[in-house]
């Protein structure tokens, strides 16, 4: 979906990949250059010099290409961050099983930094904070779960713990 959207409307896919301003600038740049090309080719070809028309076409193609390139780079970056968060989540679960709650807390917090909108990770962190006895931090994590995924099964568990 993101790729099709970005191919048809360059820059719009970047908005969905959390690069809102970059996507907006590229979309505006592409639309402006393409509009000038269309104006110089079909609407008022006598008014616009030929070099300007083809320069606008070249800039529109370059804008489209940059939008695709930035989307691929951002997608790869997000995939790498998610993989790192998965590894840290597994490490944290292993630490919890071994009884090393301090190391588990550090692993879950590091994974939270990499993927802050992942409800299963946040729920595990909330469970660990409850185990450790840090009620304030647990409430903060539960509030974050309710904001990120209010209809998820993790949100149901967070509602039971959350004390406003």
d(CA 134, CA 142): 12
Grade residue 17 by pLDDT with cuts at 50, 70 and 90: confident
Q: Looking at the predicted structure, is the pLDDT value of residue 163 above 70?
A: no
d(CA 12, CA 3): 9
> What is the predicted pLDDT for the residue at 103?
92
- Tokens representing 40 are 């110089």
> What is the predicted pLDDT for the residue at 125?
92
> What is the predicted pLDDT for the residue at 162?
67
- Judged by DSSP in three states, 156 sits in helix
Q: Write down the pTM of the prediction.
A: 0.72
d(CA 158, CA 150): 9
> What is the predicted pLDDT for the residue at 88?
93
Domain ranges of the chain: 2-79, 118-164
Exposure string for 35-69, b = 16+ CB within 10 A, e = fewer: ebbebbeeeeeeebeeeebeebbebbeebbebbbe
Give the tens place of pLDDT for each residue, 22-76: 999 999 999 999 999 999 999 988 889 999 999 999 999 999 999 999 999 999 9
> What is the predicted pLDDT for the residue at 164?
65
Give the tens place of pLDDT for each residue, 103-158: 999 999 999 999 888 999 998 999 898 888 888 888 888 889 989 888 888 888 88
- Tokens representing 141 are 């994590």
The continuous run of DSSP H or E covering 39 comes out as none
């Amino acid at each position: 979906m993101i790729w099709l959207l970005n191919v048809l409307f360059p820059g719009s896919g970047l908005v969905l990949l959390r690069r809102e301003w970059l996507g907006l600038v590229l979309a505006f740049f592409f639309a402006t250059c393409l509009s000038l090309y269309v104006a110089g080719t079909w609407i008022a070809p006598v008014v616009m010099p030929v070099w300007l028309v083809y320069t606008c076409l070249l800039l529109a193609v370059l804008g489209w290409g940059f939008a695709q390139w930035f989307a691929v780079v951002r997608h790869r970056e997000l995939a790498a961050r998610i993989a790192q968060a998965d590894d840290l989540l597994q490490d944290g679960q292993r630490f919890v099983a071994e009884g090393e709650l301090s190391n588990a807390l550090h692993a879950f917090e590091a994974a939270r930094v990499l993927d802050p909108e992942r409800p299963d990770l946040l729920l595990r962190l909330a469970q660990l904070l409850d185990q450790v006895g840090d009620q304030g931090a647990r409430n903060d994590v539960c509030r974050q779960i309710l904001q990120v995924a209010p209809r998820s099964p993790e949100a149901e568990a967070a509602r039971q713990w959350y004390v406003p």
